[in-house]
């Protein structure tokens, strides 16, 4: 009986871990997709992105990427965009 309960608990924990891992992976995938889209829009507007700006883009959070996506429409230069 205790062994059965332990096995059930262990399986629930395993499934919770799998679900958490899947959610984390999907969130990372969405973030990477946003990053690629923002990069494409920036490059379309301003041409190839210099390495320093590319590094900043690679380390940007989701909120920062959303901000860049909004500001790329009005920025007149990369310096202005990445202020």
Question: Rounded to whole angstroms, how far apart are CA atoms 54 and 31?
Answer: 15
Per-residue pLDDT for the chain (83 aa), expressed as one digit of tens each? 788 887 888 778 877 777 787 778 887 889 999 999 999 999 999 999 999 999 999 999 999 999 999 999 999 999 999 98
- Among candidates 52, 58, 63, 56, which has minimal Cα distance to 36? 58
Question: Rounded to whole angstroms, how far apart are CA atoms 4 and 78?
Answer: 62
The per-residue pLDDT for 55 is 95
The per-residue pLDDT for 39 is 97
**Whole-number CA gyration radius for the chain:** 21
The per-residue pLDDT for 26 is 83
Total domains in the chain come to: 1
Question: Rounded to whole angstroms, how far apart are CA atoms 67 and 62?
Answer: 9
Model's pTM, two decimal places? 0.73
Are 35 and 69 within 8 A, CB to CB? no
Other CB atoms within 10 Å distance of the CB of residue 44: 9
Residue span of the structural domain in which 70 resides: 2-81
């Amino acid at each position: 009986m205790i062994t059965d309960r332990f096995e059930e608990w262990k399986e629930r924990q395993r499934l919770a871990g799998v679900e958490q891992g899947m959610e984390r992976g999907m969130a990372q995938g969405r973030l990477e997709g946003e990053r690629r889209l923002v990069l494409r829009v920036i490059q379309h507007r301003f041409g190839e992105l210099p390495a320093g700006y590319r590094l900043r883009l690679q380390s940007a959070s989701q909120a920062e990427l959303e901000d860049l996506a909004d500001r790329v429409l009005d920025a007149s230069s990369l310096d202005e965009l990445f202020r």
